[in-house]
């Protein structure tokens, strides 16, 4: 498969009055053509910062690339000038934000907001751009697009606004679409529509999507591959089946067991104790060790490297080291593993 | 059957009455809440679930209808003394732990506000002790009492909100989306805390939320709202296994579950209110389909719903 984007050893810090916040501490991943990669993690884990650094949307006054590179089309995005970046943003890589209310300009009819990227990035006339814009609105399922072009954002519902934002982001057929919690502000029924729409459109134009969310249900729905982030690092990455049915990192275990499934009985919900690490002064070893009942002594001292479970699946935990003791994951996770061929709890049958 | 703690009868809450933009946020809903149970209220934003909660506790004056708390009407003309009595029994936990705590007050005073208003502490030492105990109950410690809200994380703030609600020793707590602003790993902590407190103190909860899997986990019974109306009310398990109103079915089919295999095979149902074909002559109201399971329907629909219920 063709790699469309490579993030290599990315380290990024914010210089604040309180000191240096190490928001991203060595992130590596590839994005393949036409796939959806979901990045999950709690607030402060660095998932939004990672994608904003790809788009170079972070304030240059405080955010600083420490090391690493972001390779896109043979170029390192961290080194491009603002001018060069403007040619990529909205054309080759575009972004959908969480809040459809604030990501549209309230004083501009949506038609003008739709044609803006077209006129900026492509050599076409205003009337042609309008035609393309109307087609885009039709593509995202907006009824009466000709009429709607003249209307303002407040005349649309939340779900419709998110459709418009999606239409704008797709205007120039981007190679990469970054969706930062695109459905978090929406109701479940609307969320389901938007997710279906995004999957349909992806098939039509073969875009790669980076999908950021903290909702594991949404991840299971949209993702081909999943990266789990914690404390500014990716701690586990694999295909959606590998992460949900054969997770290896204790943090992934915690995440999966703290969500009640619709058939969880009255048993107490598993809650990850404590709070996320302070990245002003990140812990020395495994950032999750202090909250983990599976922490080994070495976790407190040394950062675990990535251990390979399969060609597509790896996790950064000392538990996978050949010398580590064998531990029992939480019960809900064992239940999941029973469905996965290749896991040590596999009980036969297909996933 | 357990004892009724609250009876909500034909509650209506309209805004901008008589104007062109009249909103019927809550439109004639009736239900009971039993002692010691958790009633979940779900629905999309704008369906009136939060307004229902706020009308029950009289943050709004109801347009019409009654709320009876242990047989006494909460609404209608009341003296300050009478209102205080209800305030002690009913408390609320709000969605946004950032906006619902006064930035300029110390935790000690935030939590003790109710204690002061109701004169529950005889002297400053007792007041202090009560606050310390409350902090401990919600999993914080007494050192936290001298801090300001901005020094706490979202999950800790929500614990403060819970401690404040518990300060006056209420029987009934309305929790309006208490976990939606929190991270997944922290949500479980808060939900477990609410469940523990319920067991310890025999509290009754009205739990308003849109995260359906969490609602099912915490609730004994669940009511589903749609455009100001209650369309279905049933025991939690029953509602999920045997949803009868088409809107409930559509809502349930839209929840994404953390199970890729299930997601690949999901069939989503959409709901169109036009399917009912209600005319003016139809008597559309909540009807009991099976014991404890109510569905809003017309006389005409009743038979087919009953048949559907029996086959499931």
Taking the Cβ of residue A268 and every Cβ of chain B, the question of whether any pair is shorter than 8 Å is answered with yes
Taking the Cβ of residue A333 and every Cβ of chain B, the question of whether any pair is shorter than 8 Å is answered with no
Put simply, the answer to whether A259 touches B258 (Cβ < 8 Å) is: yes
For A294: left if phi > 0, alpha if psi spans -120 to 50, otherwise beta; the answer is: alpha
List, in order of start, the domains of chain A with CATH numbers: 34-64+80-92+175-351 (3.40.50.300), 102-171 (no CATH)
Q: How many CB atoms lie within 10 A of CB B85?
A: 15
Chain B contact set for A101 (CB, 8 A): none
Interface of B with A (CB under 8 A): 44-45, 153, 155, 183-189, 191-192, 195, 210, 212-214, 216-217, 240, 250-251, 253-263, 266, 268, 270-271
Question: Is residue B66's pLDDT more than 80?
Answer: yes
Q: Which of B45, B184, B218 to mutate to test the interface with A (most CBs of A within 10 A)?
A: B184
Question: Is residue B30's pLDDT more than 60?
Answer: yes
Which residues are CB-contacts of A152 (< 8 A; sequence separation ≥ 6)? A106, A107, A108, A109, A110
Pairwise CA distance, residues A236 & A257, whole Å: 16
| Cα torsion B145, B149, B152, B155: sign | positive
- Look at residue B56 in the predicted model and tell me its pLDDT: 93
**Token representation of residue A203:** 């098939």
Strand, helix or coil for residue B189: helix
Chain A contact set for B266 (CB, 8 A): 221
Q: Which of B260, B263, B268, B269 to mutate to test the interface with A (most CBs of A within 10 A)?
A: B260
Put simply, the answer to whether A255 touches B185 (Cβ < 8 Å) is: yes
Q: What is the ipTM of this complex?
A: 0.81
Reference A259, options B239, B252, B191, B224; nearest CA is: B191
CB B145 within 8 A of CB B176: no
- Residue boundaries of the structural domains of chain B: 4-100+172-227
**What is the overall mean pLDDT for chain B?**
90
B60-82 average pLDDT score = 89
Q: Which of A42, A275, A351 sits opposite B184 (nearest CB)?
A: A42
- Look at residue B54 in the predicted model and tell me its pLDDT: 92
Residue pointed to by tokens 């996933």 = A351
Q: How many CB atoms lie within 10 A of CB B300?
A: 15
Which residues are CB-contacts of A139 (< 8 A; sequence separation ≥ 6)? A167, A170, A201, A204
Residue-wise pLDDT for B248-281, tens only, equals 999 999 888 888 998 998 888 888 888 888 888 8
Pairwise CA distance, residues A23 & A35, whole Å: 26
Chain A residues 207-246 with a CB less than 8 Å from chain B = 214-221, 223, 240-241, 244-245
| Cα torsion B139, B144, B148, B151: sign | negative
Put simply, the answer to whether B185 touches A241 (Cβ < 8 Å) is: no
Which residues are CB-contacts of A74 (< 8 A; sequence separation ≥ 6)? none
Taking the Cβ of residue A99 and every Cβ of chain B, the question of whether any pair is shorter than 8 Å is answered with no
A268: DSSP letter: P
- Look at residue B231 in the predicted model and tell me its pLDDT: 95
- Look at residue A265 in the predicted model and tell me its pLDDT: 60
Taking the Cβ of residue A260 and every Cβ of chain B, the question of whether any pair is shorter than 8 Å is answered with yes
**Nearest chain B CA: its distance from A120 CA (Å):** 37
Closest residue, chain A, to B180 (C-alpha)? A184
Residue-wise pLDDT for B124-165, tens only, equals 999 999 999 999 999 888 889 999 998 888 888 999 999 999
CB A194 within 8 A of CB A182: yes
- Give CA torsion, residues A213, A218, A224, A226, to 10 deg: 40
Q: Which of B44, B185, B212 sits opposite A272 (nearest CB)?
A: B185
Q: Which of A48, A229, A271 to mutate to test the interface with B (most CBs of B within 10 A)?
A: A271
Strand, helix or coil for residue A112: helix
Q: Which of B188, B191, B270 to mutate to test the interface with A (most CBs of A within 10 A)?
A: B188
A80: DSSP letter: -
Task: Kindly list the averaged pLDDT for each block of 10 residues, start to end, along chain A of length 351.
Answer: 93 90 94 96 87 92 93 93 92 88 91 93 93 92 90 89 91 93 83 89 91 91 96 96 95 88 66 83 88 90 93 95 90 88 79 49
- Look at residue B19 in the predicted model and tell me its pLDDT: 86
- Look at residue A141 in the predicted model and tell me its pLDDT: 86
- The percent of residues in chain B predicted with pLDDT above 90, rounded, is 57
Chain A contact set for B270 (CB, 8 A): 189
Residue-wise pLDDT for B114-129, tens only, equals 999 999 999 999 999 9
Assign domain B4-100+172-227 to its CATH architecture: 3-Layer(aba) Sandwich (3.40)
- Look at residue A350 in the predicted model and tell me its pLDDT: 56
Reference A291, options A328, A248, A252; nearest CA is: A252
Task: Report helix angle B154-166 to B107-117, nearest 10.
Answer: 20
Task: Report helix angle B184-201 to B154-166, nearest 10.
Answer: 20
Residue A297, classified by CB atoms within 10 Å of its CB into exposed (0-12), middle (13-18) or buried (19+), is exposed
Taking the Cβ of residue A254 and every Cβ of chain B, the question of whether any pair is shorter than 8 Å is answered with yes
Instruction: Calculate the alpha carbon distances from A129 to A86, A120, A132, B110 in Å.
Output: 19, 10, 5, 57
Chain B contact set for A256 (CB, 8 A): 258
Put simply, the answer to whether B195 touches A240 (Cβ < 8 Å) is: no
B51-79 average pLDDT score = 90
Taking the Cβ of residue A1 and every Cβ of chain B, the question of whether any pair is shorter than 8 Å is answered with no
B41-54 average pLDDT score = 90
**Nearest chain B CA: its distance from A250 CA (Å):** 13
3-state helix, strand, coil in chain B (%, to 5): 40, 25, 35
Q: pTM, whole model, 2 decimals?
A: 0.84
């Amino acid at each position: 498969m063709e790699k469309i984007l490579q993030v290599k050893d990315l380290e990024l810090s914010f210089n604040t009055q309180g000191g240096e916040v190490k928001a991203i501490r060595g992130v590596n991943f590839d994005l393949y053509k036409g796939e959806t990669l979901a990045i999950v993690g709690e607030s402060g884990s660095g998932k939004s910062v990672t994608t904003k650094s790809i788009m170079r949307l972070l304030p240059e006054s405080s955010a600083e690339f420490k090391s690493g590179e972001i390779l896109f089309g043979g170029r390192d995005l961290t080194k491009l000038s603002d001018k060069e970046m403007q040619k990529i943003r909205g054309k080759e890589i575009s972004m959908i934000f969480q809040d459809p209310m604030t990501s549209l300009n309230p004083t501009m009819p949506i038609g003008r907001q739709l044609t803006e990227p077209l006129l900026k990035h492509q050599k076409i006339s205003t009337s042609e751009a309008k035609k393309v814009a109307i087609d885009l609105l039709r593509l995202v399922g907006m009824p009466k697009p000709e009429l709607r072009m003249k209307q303002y954002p407040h005349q649309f519902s939340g779900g419709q606004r998110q459709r418009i934002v999606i239409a704008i982001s797709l205007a120039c057929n981007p190679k990469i679409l970054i969706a930062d919690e695109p459905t978090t502000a929406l109701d479940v029924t609307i969320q389901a529509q938007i997710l279906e729409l995004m999957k349909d459109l992806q098939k039509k134009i073969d875009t790669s999507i980076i999908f950021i969310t903290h909702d594991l249900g949404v991840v299971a729905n949209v993702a081909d591959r999943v990266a789990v982030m914690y404390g500014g690092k990716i701690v586990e990455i694999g295909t959606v089946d590998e992460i949900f049915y054969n997770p290896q990192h204790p943090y992934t275990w915690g995440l999966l067991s703290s969500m009640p499934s619709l058939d969880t009985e009255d048993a107490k919900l598993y809650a990850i104790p404590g709070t996320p690490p302070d990245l002003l002064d990140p812990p020395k070893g495994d950032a999750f060790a202090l909250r983990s009942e599976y922490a080994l002594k070495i976790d407190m001292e040394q950062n675990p490297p990535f251990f390979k479970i399969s060609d597509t699946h790896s996790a950064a935990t000392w538990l996978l080291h050949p010398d580590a003791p064998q531990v029992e994951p939480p019960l809900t996770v064992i239940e999941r593993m029973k469905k996965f061929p290749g896991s040590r709890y596999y009980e036969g049958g297909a996933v | 059957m357990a004892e009724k703690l609250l009876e909500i009868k034909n509650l209506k809450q309209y805004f901008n009455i008589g104007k062109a933009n009249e909103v019927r946020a809550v439109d004639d809903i009736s239900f009971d809440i039993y002692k010691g149970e958790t009633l979940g209220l779900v629905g999309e934003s704008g369906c009136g679930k939060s307004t229902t909660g706020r009308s029950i506790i009289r943050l709004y004056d109801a347009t019409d209808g009654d709320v009876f708390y242990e047989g006494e009407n909460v609404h209608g003309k009341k003296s300050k003394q009478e209102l205080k009595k209800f305030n002690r029994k009913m408390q609320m936990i709000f969605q946004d732990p950032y906006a619902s705590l006064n930035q300029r007050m110390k935790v000690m005073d935030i939590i003790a506000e109710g204690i002061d208003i109701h004169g529950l502490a005889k002297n400053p030492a007792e007041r202090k002790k009560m606050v310390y105990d409350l902090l401990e109950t919600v999993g914080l410690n007494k050192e936290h009492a001298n801090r300001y809200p901005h020094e706490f994380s979202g999950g800790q703030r929500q614990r403060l909100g819970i401690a404040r609600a518990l300060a006056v020793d209420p029987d009934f707590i309305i929790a309006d989306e208490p976990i939606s602003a929190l991270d997944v790993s922290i949500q479980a902590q808060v939900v477990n805390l609410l469940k523990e407190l319920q067991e310890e103190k025999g509290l009754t909860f009205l739990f308003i939320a849109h995260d359906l899997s969490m609602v099912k986990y915490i609730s004994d019974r669940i009511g589903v709202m749609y455009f100001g109306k209650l369309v279905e009310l049933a025991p939690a398990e029953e509602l999920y296994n045997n949803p009868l109103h088409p809107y409930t079915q559509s809502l349930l089919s839209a929840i994404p579950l953390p199970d890729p295999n299930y997601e690949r095979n999901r069939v989503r149902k959409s709901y169109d209110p036009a399917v009912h074909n209600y005319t003016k002559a139809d008597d559309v109201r909540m009807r009991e389909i099976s014991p404890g399971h109510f569905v809003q329907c017309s006389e005409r629909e009743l038979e087919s719903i009953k048949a559907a219920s029996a086959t499931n």
